Structure 1
Amino acid sequence: MNNKSLVCAASCLPLAVLCNYAAATDVLRMEGFGPVSRAMGGTAMSYDVGNAGMMSNPATLSLQSAGSHFSIGADVVTTDIKTRNQDTGETANSHDKSNNRGPYYAPELSYSYRADRWAVGIGAFAQGGLGTEYGKDSFLSNGVSGAPTGLDNSSRLLVLNIPLAFSFDINDQLTVGASVDAMWMGMNINMMFGANQVGSLIGSGRSTGSLVPVIGSLPALDGAHIGFSKDQPLASGADAWGIGGRIGLLWKATETTHVGVAYNFKSQMADLKGNATVTAVDRIAGQIPINGKIEVRDFQMPASLSIGVSHAITDRWLVTADVSRVFWRDAMKDIKVNFVDSQGQDLNLQFPQTYRDQTIGALGTSYRIGNWTLRAGYRQGTKAAQGSQLFATLPVTPTKHITTGFSYQVSASSRVDFAYDHALQETTYNSVLPNTAVPIKNTHSQDNFVLGYTYDF
């Protein structure tokens, strides 16, 4: 296959990989961008991770060779999520139950150009997301009485970044970089709330609006269901555009030791908007669907500060380490939802989250043997979400990752990269209203695969 055919074939791949989405593992964020970083524990601050550097530390674009670099790839995430009702022993499993959930895919497509003292790049990367699919028949779809409703419990979130990045060598030792990102966020939610959850939200002042007395006046309220979802490859029940970005610095302390620092700004997303249905479930009156418009307000991705160091022990052997502080506390206090029906009646909900700021440490290493480069890493973070705030449909629990991968230099101008990341199983308990109707135990592990192809010219 000639070079023209390779580029043509690669350009078709994003259309295929956009059919599904990925579930993130650093809460709602990917634990690394690109197969090189992912295989080395998500470290990326101070060494060449290819075009994916524009999503971590854009100053590292200066470490690439002169010329153009085209990269394409995909993340594939397979999850194993189970939620157990601690009172009855029933278990709900998140499986592949519709055509856009699990396994989850996310595209990576990018181009960069490195000149003498500067580099520029543009790309499209999934910054984060999540996904569950419990179906319509588990205990999560029951009313507080235990009666089945046949209503779906599922979620899907994708955060897509389109960065325009730039780096500049101030001198032989110091490089600065920055990026400005266009961001798109799409969300699907189907969630059943028991009558005890509804009562807790009202009693704590977290449920207000003219629809509250309407739902509350039902003779035997068993629960309420909120649904906004599109079972389509790309479209979501509610979505929005916004902006983000980051700045970075790279210091070549010696020929073999580099230090990198980057600050990722908190996103500025518009409110997510779409069509939705609120279904009141009553043991006497049955199910009463109310159609209207939904807004998820001020749902943002957090700011973060990262620092990393890399050291070349030999010309073949590299070791890396990163530490990050992710400022979830400022970004995720409540999930705020506003619903307005066709008559103008409204329902305002605030679901408590109160995330803590998260500290993440990562280690990586690589060793080159001929045309092969072998990689491994480990990543661990503190918990951002308290167990008492857990939603079964929105699990964000994995904190430990073991990674490995490789690169193979196909020719002087082309390379294939691969990474495998296993998120170790985490177990979380919640028995606190309003985020769960019954005491639950949630277990969550997953396997992530990243495959990429880079062509230099």
Structure 2
Amino acid sequence: MKPSKSIFYLTPLCALLAAGSVHATNGMLMEGYGPISTGMGGASQAIDHGNAGMAQNPATLGMMPDGTSRLDVAFGILGPDVKSSVPGMEAKSGGTSYLMPAFGYVKRNGAYTYGIGMFAQGGMGTEYAANSFMAGGFSLPARSELGVGNVIFPVAYQVNSNLTVGATLKFMWASLDLQMAAPRNELLGMMTGSSGKFAAQDLTNPLATATKARISFSDENDFTGAAKSTGFGASLGAVYKVNKDVTVGGSYQFKSGLDDMKTASSAASIASDGAATDYGQMTVIDFQMPSVFAVGASWQAQPSLLLAADIKYIGWADSMKSFKMRYDSSMGNGSVSFAMPQNWKDQTVLNLGMAWKANEQLTLRAGLNLADNPIPDAYVNPLFPATVKSHVTLGMGYKVSEAGDFNASLTLAPSETVTSGSGVTISHGQTNLQVMYSHRF
């Protein structure tokens, strides 16, 4: 990740302009979308939390009053704190502050609710300095920046006074920057095939005499990565009002259908200390965002107190088995394929939240977001430390007029420390803030 940059992204509270990378906290997914849901621990399946519903359970969009429209304008600050160390050396990631403006629009007309939104679905990344041990002796930064965004077209339909169903169609895009150094034996261990000079058993092989090597592709753009792809996604959801106080809901987000990410023909490189730098094209093969199944309930325990709970099952095992790349030289040296084993586990996330209406203007929120770490320690990589587990969230809403209100949330994620199979100890914590103004008309 590039430090101190602006990320135009749509939190599920609204829509955003463009997507960069985000330091996600439930694996590669955010702990919550929009300050209403996030302030309640990320609970979203059976509560009205504004336009963010299009990114979680689209049926909740139908909970807005008939004949009304809603516009959300939001701003967030994502604050990851990542450090990696080996005995005697420590490297701190320079990506510590990410700005996130956002907006969105939804309208209800009779039984139908519809709108449009853009948002950053998730991502991960780090940036280590050129003089850190992570640079591998190349005196160049070691970094990663993965971002996945969506343009969402949601629709919800009120079947009867109790049941509402919803669906979304998503146009998706993904991008990746990667600058990674490794000892030659580690790089050779990741190779799954080669051709041309990369397969030669003599000095024509650019890696033949190397003791270390570096893979690099980066466009140095704050909002995109050098390797890019597009594709589609979809989700289904439902909300059922059991009685005047109890609501249940559920949704299913399908695994994404992204094309392979590709750089320009000469935008990637492989360098070593034993040969001249080779330039070519890098293809990231079959990278996909996971399926997500979620169910939840809300209870209006008192006129001033709302309680909510969700449980989510994220299908990482199907989408993050291995990180595969193929490099094709534009200099006539052939090609080489790599595979970085990931073996992520499916992840269960528990969202618990409450909202207390202190008076007609002020609502206070609090919640917990509890998850296991989907990455086995043996496979965690300092460039992709998506290891945060527990989150404490706080939030508030203030009604500034009959048509407008202001909402904010704060997430505190205590640092989690793991040691990778290569002996690197990685710690990762976060402090995240979101604010939003909503106008109804």
Which whole-Å CA distance do the structure 1 matches of 2:250 and 2:30 have between them?
18
- In the alignment, what sits opposite 2:72? 71
- Rounded to whole Å, the distance in 1 between the matches of 2:25 and 2:127 is 17
How is 1:291-310 mapped onto 2 (pairs within 5 angstroms)? 291-310=279-298
1:110 deviates by 1.2
What is residue 187 of structure 1 aligned with on the other side?
176
Task: Write the mapping of 1:120-199 to structure 2, written as runs, cut at 5 A.
Answer: 120-142=114-136, 148-199=137-188
Any residues of structure 2 matched to 1:10-409 within 5 Å, and which?
21-66=21-66, 67-85=68-86, 88-96=87-95, 102-142=96-136, 148-202=137-191, 206-210=192-196, 211-213=198-200, 220-275=209-264, 276-282=267-273, 285=274, 288-342=276-330, 343=332, 345-370=334-359, 371-409=361-399
Q: CA deviation at 1:20?
A: 5.7
Q: Give CA-to-partner distance per residue, 1:367-422, whole Å, 9 cap, x none.
A: 11221111000011122111111111111100111100111111111111111111
% same residue: 30
Q: What CA distance in whole angstroms lies between the structure 1 residues aligned with 2:282 and 2:31? A: 30
User: How much has 1:229 moved relative to structure 2?
Assistant: 0.8
Label 1:18 to 1:103 Cα distance change in 2 as closer, same or farther (>3 A).
farther
CA contact (8 A) 2:207 2:213 kept: no
Match of 1:453 in 2: 437
Q: Deviations over 1:135-170 (max 9, x none)?
A: 21111112xxxxx22122011111111111011111
Q: Which amino acid aligns with 1:333?
A: K
State the Cα distance separating 1:279 from its structure 2 match: 3.1
Partners of 1:412 and 1:149 lie apart in 2 by 59
Equivalent pairs counted in the alignment come to 420
- Give, in whole Å, the separation in 2 of the partners of 1:160 and 1:249: 24
Distance across 2 between alignment mates of 1:103 and 1:215: 44
User: How far 1:75 sits from its partner (Å)?
Assistant: 2.9
1: CA distance between counterparts of 2:193 and 2:427? 29
Unaligned runs of 5+ in 2: 1-13
Distance in 2 separating the partners of 1:40 and 1:212: 55
Work out whether residues 77 and 103 of structure 1, in 8 Å CA contact, stay in contact via their aligned partners in 2. yes
Report the CA distance shift for 1:89/1:447 in structure 2 as closer, same or farther (over 3 A): same
Q: 1:219 and 1:94 mapped to 2: Cα distance?
A: 32
CA distance in 2, matches of 1:339, 1:217: 13
SS in 2 for 1:140: helix
Distance 1:448 1:217, change over 3 A: closer
User: C-alpha separation between the residues in 2 aligned to 1:159 and 1:258?
Assistant: 31
CA displacement 1:62-105 (0-9 Å, x = unmatched): 111231101121332111111111xx320011014xxxxx4123
The match for 1:6 is none
Give yes or no for contact 2:15–2:104 (8 Å, CA) kept in 1: no
| Equivalent-residue separation in structure 2 for 1:180 and 1:430 (angstroms) | 38
CA displacement at 1:288 relative to structure 2: 2.3
Shift of 1:15: 12
Letter in structure 2 aligned against 1:153: A
2:11 equivalent in structure 1? none
Shift of 1:215: 7.7
> Shift of the alpha carbon at 1:349?
0.6
CA deviations on 1:172-203 (whole Å, 9 max, x unpaired) are 1111100001111111111111122023224x
**Secondary structure of the structure 1 residue equivalent to 2:61:** helix
Report the 3-state secondary structure (helix = DSSP H, G, I; strand = E; otherwise coil) of the residue aligned with 1:62: helix
Give the aligned partner of residue 8 of structure 1. Answer: none
Distance, in Å, in 2 between the alignment partners of 1:395 and 1:216 is 32
> Per the alignment, do residues 215 and 353 of structure 1 end up closer, same or farther by CA in structure 2, a change over 3 Å counting?
farther
Comparing 327-336 and 232-241, the one that deviates more: 232-241
3-state secondary structure, aligned to 2:46: coil
Q: How far is the alpha carbon of 1:424 from its aligned partner?
A: 1.5
* CA distance 1:273–1:365, shift in 2 (3 Å): same
Q: Within 2, Cα distance between the matches of 1:49 and 1:218?
A: 54
Give the structure 2 partner of residue 7 of structure 1.
none
What amino acid is aligned across from residue 70 of structure 2 in structure 1?
H
TM-score when scaled to structure 2? 0.91
- Deviation per residue, 1:273-308 (Å, 9 max, x gap): 1144333322xx4x6211111110110000010000
Change (3 A) 1:218 1:344: closer
Q: Distance in 1 between matches of 2:316 and 2:101?
A: 25
> 2:392 corresponds to which letter in structure 1?
I
Structure-1-length-normalised TM-score: 0.88
Deviations 1:10-40 (A, max 9, x none): xxxx999859642111111111111101111
Cα distance in 2 between the residues matched to 1:89 and 1:350: 30
Q: CA RMSD in A?
A: 2.0
Asked if the contact 2:320/2:342 (under 8 Å) is kept, the reply is yes
Give the distance between the partners of 1:428 and 1:350, measured in 2 at CA.
Answer: 22
**Paired residues of 2:19 and 2:148 also in contact (CA < 8 A):** no
Report deviation, 1:218.
5.2
**SS of structure 2 residue aligned to 1:221:** coil
Q: Tell whether the 8 Å contact from 2:194 to 2:334 is kept in structure 1 after alignment.
A: no
Does the CA contact (< 8 Å) of 1:18 and 1:233 recur in 2? Answer: no
